[in-house]
Amino acid sequence: MSRKTDLNEYLDKLLSHWASYHNHKENMAHLALAAQIAIACAILSDKWLPYCNLHKLFGLFAVIVLWIALYLYAGWEMWLRRKAATIVKAIMRARGKLIDHEPSAGNDAIQTSEWGINFCKCAWWPWFSKYDWGDKGYPEELLNELSVASKERDKHLEALEIGGWILSLCIFVVYIMDFFVVMTCTIINLVTSCSRC
C-alpha cells in the first residue's frame, strides 16, 4: 500500500474518534448548562426551601458553590470540545488535500484570530492553554492543518460558547442578588426580634 492510502485510512480512524469525542464533550457541556438552568428554576420558583430565611441563606450559599462547580465543569467540557472541533476541521482539510492532490498549507496562510483567543482566555481561564500538537505523533500533513485550524476563528463555536457563558453569568448574578436579599431579610428579622427582648 502507498503512504497516501495508509494516511487516508489513519485520518479516517482519527476522524471517527475525534468526531464522537467532540459530540460527547458537547453533550456534557450542554448537560452542565441544563443542570444550572434547572437549579435556577427551582430556586426562583421559591418552593425549594419553604423554611426560615436562615435556611434559605445556607441553601443559597450551597447552590452558589454548586454553580461554581458546574460552571468550571462546563468550561472544561467546552474547552475540550473546542480542541476536538479544531482537530476535526484539520483532519477534514488534510483529507481533502490528499484527495485533490493539493500541497498542505504553509505557515504564511495562517489567519490569526486574536478576538477568539482573547475570549477563550477570559471565559475559560482555568483551562486555557496553547495547543501543542507536536507531541501527539501526528503526520506532517495533519500538523500543518492543525497549525492553521487552531488559529482561525470559528464563529459558530464562539457563538455557542458565548451564549452558554452569558447564560451562566446571568444565573450567577440572580443567585448573588437573591443571596443578598435573603441575607438582608435575615438581618432585619434578627434585629427586630432582638429589639423586642
Q: What is the pLDDT along the chain (197 residues), one digit of tens a residue?
A: 577 777 888 888 888 999 999 999 989 988 998 998 888 887 777 666 556 666 777 777 888 888 888 888 888 888 888 888 888 988 888 888 777 665 544 444 444 556 556 666 666 666 666 666 666 678 888 888 888 887 777 777 777 778 888 888 888 888 888 878 877 877 887 778 766 55
Q: Is 90 exposed, middle or buried (0-12, 13-18, 19+ CB in 10 A)?
A: buried
**Cα–Cα distance between 11 and 186 in angstroms, integer?**
62
Amino acid at 76: W
Maximum distance among all alpha carbons in the chain?
Answer: 92
Please, which residues have CB within 8 angstroms of residue 61's CB and are 6 or more apart in sequence? 179
Q: 9 is written with which cell numbers?
A: 485510512
Note the pLDDT tens digit of each residue in 32-50. Answer: 989 988 888 877 776 665 5
Cβ distance 94 to 145 under 8 Å? yes
Which residue has cell 454553580? 67
Q: Is 128 exposed, middle or buried (0-12, 13-18, 19+ CB in 10 A)?
A: middle
Domain spans of the chain, in order of start: 3-196
Cβ distance 38 to 114 under 8 Å? no
Please, which residues have CB within 8 angstroms of residue 82's CB and are 6 or more apart in sequence? 120, 154, 157, 161
Report the Cα 196 to chain-centroid distance in Å. Answer: 52
Is the Cα torsion angle 43, 24, 161, 138 positive or negative in sign? positive
